[in-house]
Amino acid sequence: MLFNSYSFLFLFFPAALAGYYLCRKAGEGVKNIYLIAVSFVFYSWSAPQYLPVLIAGMAVNYGFGWQIERVSHSKQVLAAGLVFNIGLLGCFKYLDTAGFVPLGISFFTFTQIAYLMECYRGNLKGTGALSYGVYVSWFPKMMQGPIALPGEFLPQLEKKSAVMDWEAAYRNLYLFVLGLFKKVLIADTLGKAVDLGYANLATLNSWDGMIVMLSYTLQLYFDFSGYCDMAMGISGMFGITLPLNFDSPYKAANILEFWKGWHRTLTAFFTKYLYIPLGGNRKGRGRTYLNCLIVFFLSGIWHGSGLTFIVWGMLHGVLYVLTRAWKESRICDGLSVRLEKSGGFIRKLRHGISVLLTFLYVNVAWVFFRAPSIEDAGTLLKTIFSFQGGRVNWELAGCFNLDEFWYVIKVLHLDRWQYAHYILMVVILIAVLFLVFFGKNAVNFVKTIKPGFFHAVLITVLFVWSVLSLSGVSSFLYVNF
């Protein structure tokens, strides 16, 4: 089931939330059983064949955790649990399973690895089967994250049910609607241009290629961050707070800052359970840089089995290491001192150039992330950097001509202009870039709002607009990873 579907918006979610508030005072056990049942229904709604894999994996992992936590505290049991999870993930994602790949397996596998690691480290004591079941299967986060660690999630299940906080519910609803809008109206519009471009690489000119590359960079962000906003909003209405997964990553002035804002929970997972156990930064600079490269290499493999994902991971890893080495050098320290003494305009100019260069580099790396093959990625980049101009492809520009906006253009008689077909493409791309570089993070934004007429009207308009656009409902990009 998708968050951006009629069945979720008007059937599943209202029923699930109403049932929760009816049973929340019946005790922790009843509440947890209900949440697990709701999550299983959500997961199996459109693909019931994957549910046995999820349940079996949960049972095996709880057995490993119980053995580690209460019986032996054995490193061998932990190793067996890790081999089981990584092996299961590898079999389904990287071997030929005739298309049988359980939805969200990457995310719920990492959730269970985190559980085993925390059991071994002694950070979990007496975790009940029901609490564990909710932690792994919790439907807002199970298929696409964010990856909540046990220490963040499990204590929330022990909280006593309180009186309904209507203002918090309002903010969570607002966050959900913003996420829905980001997915349905922004990401899916950009996705049409991306799909058309990658299906016709041989016919693109440089302008077409740049638009396709930029559109995917923006689509991926609004698609994934939109999902996470919805997940946080939904979970918050059940009284469970999920961690922030995106913090305006495209405003980053270097690749280090980018990874502090992009998919933060995956970064936290790899840092805690891979980078630090490898030695982190405790064994000298050379080993530190090698550990960083290992993390980015495995991050690429986690996202997909193709060589394109490895190239994407290493493009980030190499720049990450070079940037870190530069920042740790004496030359960088000297330049930083000089910069502090320079005027405010120079500092702002340098920051703006750094943000732009980082954004351009990330754009190029995303080409490998999206392209079906290295050859296709090379074709698109060669097209872009050949600087062979010309008018933007008519069909490509048409992907941005949403009916509701095109009607306004007709009313204003702008459709008579020879370049009218391109107006919405330019306007939408500029508006989306403005949101990316100057807009406030949605999660931080909703924390500041107070219930009132203006916001009530805005949230209603955005929700209705999104719902009316659901005829073109599409899956979320990260469900495939």
Q: Supply the residues annotated as catalytic.
A: 303
Q: Which residues are CB-contacts of 318 (< 8 A; sequence separation ≥ 6)?
A: 293
Is residue 34 within 8 Å of 238, Cβ to Cβ? no
| Sequence-separated (6 or more) residues with CB below 8 Å from residue 281 | 288, 291
Local structure of residue 471 (DSSP, 8 states): G
- 51, 43 Cβ separation under 8 angstroms: yes
Contacts of 295 (CB under 8 A, 6+ apart): 270, 271, 274, 275, 317
CA–CA distance from 253 to each of 292, 320, 349, 454 (Å)? 19, 12, 11, 34
Q: Of 325, 313, 333, nearest to 284 (Cα)?
A: 325
**For residue 48, cis peptide bond before it (omega within 30 degrees of 0):** no
Burial of 440 (0-12, 13-18, 19+ CB in 10 A): exposed
CA distance 408 to 402: 10
Closest by Cα among 169, 175, 165 to 459: 175
For the chain, the distance separating the N- and C-terminal CA atoms, rounded to the nearest angstrom, is 16
Residue with the two structure tokens 């913090």? 247
- Candidates 153, 155, 229; CA nearest to 187 is 229
Cβ 45 vs Cβ 34: under 8 Å: no
Phi, psi of 180 (to 5 degrees): -60, -40
| HSE (side-chain half, CA atoms, 13 Å) at 384 | 17
CA torsion through residues 449, 451, 455, 460, sign: positive
Closest CA to 35 of 237, 287, 249: 237
